[in-house]
Structure 1
């Protein structure tokens, strides 16, 4: 019998298999187990782990319905990277690279990817050290990593080569967008978050340096 967690998944995903649902349940359990030993997320969010982290991550998937190659920067506790990896099991040829410089968190990510046989590769490195090691994906994600301007600097090699960014931002996102336009030009689509009405997902494409001002 389905429960409220599966119902919430069905609200943000067009289709989801029984295996995927079970894998996400298993990931939630694994995350809670590891969180007792290492700091994977703020303890105050554990009571709402499913909604605030798993559903918040899963909602990105249907924003790029044909995308098979993904890259998650600063993957931390696996949001959205591991969630996307589990969902990509249902897309033939799907793959995601996860970049995380913290060794303990990278070990958790590898454990999760292996346990659920998800098509992901974990890079325990700084983002600027993998610019030449990871081919340009279709989608780049980052969650609670840096300001938009800083994200453009970090993800620039891929975004300027044709990748699309899906970046989750809170209520102050308009200021970040305005500040980033000082140095960057880009195409922007705003998607309302399905989890928090004050949050958005910024879809960024065609990133390029801003032109000279008159």
Structure 2
């Protein structure tokens, strides 16, 4: 296990003006839809850029070369929708999986208004991800505030076992999740500091042996 500390410099400062504008559109729509459905905590609305946008965007620092990304339980779009908005390459595609139809409608509106390279799949992860993995080889699978690490490893297994890098944003109790995850023996993992919270971490998981390991 390796632990890294992310730079405290703001990596979003150098984003193109067009990307910043798309994120502003996202921010406006998030505040509008928040009045109808619960997308983020109310206390975080005054700090959307740091708490949500930067927290999501920082994953690009560790993703390496990728073309296909899948985000599990996307909810309000973090981190997957931010990645899709920030990734301008025509070779990039981000898939968002969300079971809640109202949240999926929100994701569609943001995607439409920002022109993000996003595909939205409505349904439970257990059903949708295996189907997607039969057609697409993913380079990255991500999730934020979705489930304990042991459950994430199980949910993400169709992507992880075919070579995807797992990128999971966890809170201050990350250490206990690592301890309570017997499946972790099948992975090489790295801890990366989260810019939104010095006590939290991003857990990077890489399937150790594609030929012999099983979740």
Question: Which bracket does the TM-score occupy, shorter chain normalised?
Answer: 0.7 to 0.9
Q: Distance in 1 between matches of 2:33 and 2:87?
A: 23
- Match of 1:67, SS state, is coil
Q: Distance in 2 between matches of 1:113 and 1:184?
A: 37
Q: Displacement, 1:33?
A: 0.8
CA contact (8 A) 1:10 1:16 kept: no
CA contact (8 A) 1:183 1:209 kept: no
Structure 1 consecutive aligned stretches of length 4 or more whose deviation exceeds 4 Å? none
Q: Distance in 1 between matches of 2:9 and 2:123?
A: 35
Q: How does 1:152-167 map to 2 (within 5 A)?
A: 152-167=153-168
Between stretches 170-179 and 60-69, larger displacement belongs to 60-69
- Match of 1:60, SS state, is helix
Aligned residue number for residue 123 of structure 1 = 121
Q: Distance in 2 between matches of 1:182 and 1:110?
A: 34
Closer, same or farther: CA 43–127 of 1 in aligned 2, 3 Å: same
TM-score, L = length of structure 1: 0.88
Aligned residue number for residue 75 of structure 1 = 74
TM-score, L = length of structure 2: 0.87
Q: How does 1:176-195 map to 2 (within 5 A)?
A: 176-181=177-182, 184-195=185-196
- Match of 2:157, SS state, is helix
Aligned residue number for residue 16 of structure 1 = 15
Q: Distance in 2 between matches of 1:174 and 1:209?
A: 23
Aligned residue number for residue 5 of structure 2 = none
Give ranges in structure 1 of 5+ residues lacking alignment: 1-8
Aligned residue number for residue 203 of structure 2 = 202
* Number of residue pairs the alignment of both structures matches: 201
Aligned residue number for residue 93 of structure 2 = 95
- Match of 2:169, SS state, is strand
Kindly report the root-mean-square deviation, in angstroms, between the aligned alpha carbons of the 2 structures.
1.9
1:124-144 Cα deviation digits (max 9, x unpaired):
110011112342310100000
Give ranges in structure 2 of 5+ residues lacking alignment: 1-7
